[in-house]
Structure formats: C-alpha cells, structure tokens
C-alpha cells in the first residue's frame, strides 16, 4: 500500500474470521483428498477498503487479482495475468484481506503477505498474493480464472450459448453465481473395534459447506445398498466450518465396500455429493 497512513488506519479494523473451511474446487479424486482445511484468519475487512472509494456507479463490481503466474495458458486479453476474480459488493460483505492464519503470519503457500478470504467460497476465488483491487464495470467480462473454474464451481453455463460464451471469453462476470462451497460429507477414518467378542467398525467423518447447517445425514456401504441414519451427527455450529460425525457398522461379510453419504434435506444443495465426488472404498477382511 502506497498510503501507509491509510493502511495504518485500516489496521484498526482488523478482525478475526473462523474457523472456516476452505476447499479446492478440484477436491474430488481420492488420490487428491486433502485439498481442504479449516483455519482461523485475521485481517482487514475488504468493505473497510472499499468504503474509502466512491465508485462512479452503484453497480460497480470489484476485481481482486494476485501476482501468481499461471503461465502462457492463463494469458488473456480479458484477464489480468495471474489469478483474479470479479465480485459484487454483496459477495464481499464478510470477506477479509487476511495477513495471519491460525495466529501466525500468513504462510507463503497461503498467499503471504495478503490473501483474500471469502468465507464459504471455494479456494479458487480466495485470491492469494493479492496485489491489485480495482473497481470493474457491471458488464465486465469474466476473468480467465473464473472461466477456468466455471464447471467446478457449478456455474450456469451448461447451455450451448453459455459454453460458447465461456470458450470465446465473452461471458459476463455478473452472470456467475457465488462460488459457494456445496454441502458435502465424507468419511476420513475407519476404526476396527472388538466389542463383546464381535468385530465392528467405527466410521469417522466430516460434514461441511453450504449456507445452512444440517445433521440430516445418511450412510450406506454399497452404491445400491440400503440407507441408514448416521448414528451421531451433531448439528454444526456454522456451515462455514466442518463438524465430525461417527457411525458404527457391522458388515455381514468380508469384501470391498463403498462408503456413500447423502443429506436428507431437499432444501440443501448437494450437487457434488449427488455425483459421488466423496465416495470412498474400504476392504473388510474380518467380520
């Protein structure tokens, strides 16, 4: 920041956010599981920065860009080189320019010195190494980053016209939906226990995402098997972080099983869960 005095005044507005789950939009393949984490962030609310600027139009959007270089493939006349995303002002009501993570200075791989954190959004929109914040016109075209992650953030461009707009670079940022993490759940550990001389398995997992907390979780162990309510699934304190659930299972035979989960609430959007993004397999050798 060139205006060091202005930045000093902004630092008085430092706030703590979290813990918040941040998930990579590409987190699906079991081989890549781990592309998500929960952390507490400290920084300046982006609205405190924007309030110091008087946009020419009430409809002005906000472009946030970082200095990371995606290589020649990322170069585009419609996008600043590196990762960038265009937001509405409403999108950024809870966003912060984070300078600390989990009580320590922001690590380099999380965007040192400044990272945009938009709670509840996929990581691709939480720009690292922020170097520019600009006002953009309401009809601004989507950035390369937005177009690249359109499918993975479930954007409404699946019609022939929409796909053509994405490929031609003419899609408008205002036509993108907020890149909010979908509600999802998955197992993270399976424990074998001996209880009363009988083998049983304890499934430990997490549920996260969405805009509405839920504990209406069901599980099954074959892709076409019967569903059972998860034994212990506490209501998350907030959809911005994850909650741990457990389920006791006594398989009837040895073999390979698929652990599948669903949310039993039709008002909650679970597109990734419905597409079996988080199915995990387990081999049972003792029953």
Say which residue, 53 or 177, is predicted with more confidence.
177
Say which residue, 155 or 51, is predicted with more confidence.
155
What is residue 76's predicted lDDT score, i.e. its pLDDT?
44
Mean pLDDT of 265-275: 94
- What's the token pair of residue 94? 């809870």
Q: What percent of the chain is helix, strand and coil (3-state, nearest 5)?
A: 15, 35, 45
Q: pTM for the full model? A: 0.89
SS3 label, residue 61: strand
Nearest to 78 by CA among 170, 175, 177, 179: 170
What is residue 82's predicted lDDT score, i.e. its pLDDT?
73
Mean pLDDT of the chain: 89
Classify domain 4-175 at the CATH class level.
Answer: alpha beta
Mean pLDDT of 180-193: 96
pLDDT in tens, 19-68: 999 999 988 766 666 689 999 999 999 999 898 887 666 668 999 999 86
pLDDT band at 77, cuts 50/70/90? very low
**With 0-12 CB in 10 A as exposed, 13-18 as middle and 19+ as buried, what is 103?**
exposed
Classify domain 184-284 at the CATH class level.
Answer: mainly beta
What is residue 285's predicted lDDT score, i.e. its pLDDT?
95
Phi, psi (5° rounding) for residue 13?
-95, 10
Mean pLDDT of 114-123: 97
Residue ranges of domains in the chain? 4-175, 184-284
């Amino acid at each position: 920041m060139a205006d060091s005095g202005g930045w000093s005044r902004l630092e008085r507005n430092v706030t703590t956010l979290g813990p918040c789950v941040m998930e990579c939009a590409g987190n699906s393949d079991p081989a890549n599981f781990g592309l998500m984490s929960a952390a507490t962030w400290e920084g300046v609310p982006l609205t405190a920065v924007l309030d110091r600027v008087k946009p020419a139009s009430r409809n002005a959007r906000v472009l946030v860009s970082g200095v990371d270089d995606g290589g020649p493939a990322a170069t585009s006349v419609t996008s600043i080189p590196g990762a960038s995303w265009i937001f509405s002002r409403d999108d950024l009501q809870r966003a912060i320019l984070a300078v600390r993570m989990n009580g320590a200075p922001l690590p380099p791989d999380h965007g040192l010195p400044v990272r945009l954190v938009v709670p509840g959004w996929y990581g691709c929109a939480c720009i690292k190494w922020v170097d520019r914040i600009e006002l953009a016109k309401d009809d601004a075209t989507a950035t390369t980053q937005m177009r690249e992650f359109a499918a993975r953030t479930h954007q409404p461009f699946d019609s022939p016209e929409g796909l053509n707009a994405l490929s031609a670079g003419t899609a408008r940022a205002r036509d993108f939906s907020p890149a909010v993490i979908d509600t999802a759940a998955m197992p993270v550990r399976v424990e074998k226990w001996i209880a009363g001389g009988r083998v049983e398995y304890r499934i430990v997992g997490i549920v996260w995402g969405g805009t509405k907390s839920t504990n209406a979780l069901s599980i099954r162990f074959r892709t076409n098997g019967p569903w059972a309510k998860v034994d212990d699934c506490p209501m998350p304190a907030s959809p911005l972080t994850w909650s741990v659930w457990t389920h006791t299972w006594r398989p009837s035979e040895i073999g390979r099983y698929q652990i599948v989960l669903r949310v039993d609430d039709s008002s909650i959007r679970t597109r990734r869960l419905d597409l079996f993004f988080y199915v995990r397999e387990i081999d049972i050798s003792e029953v």
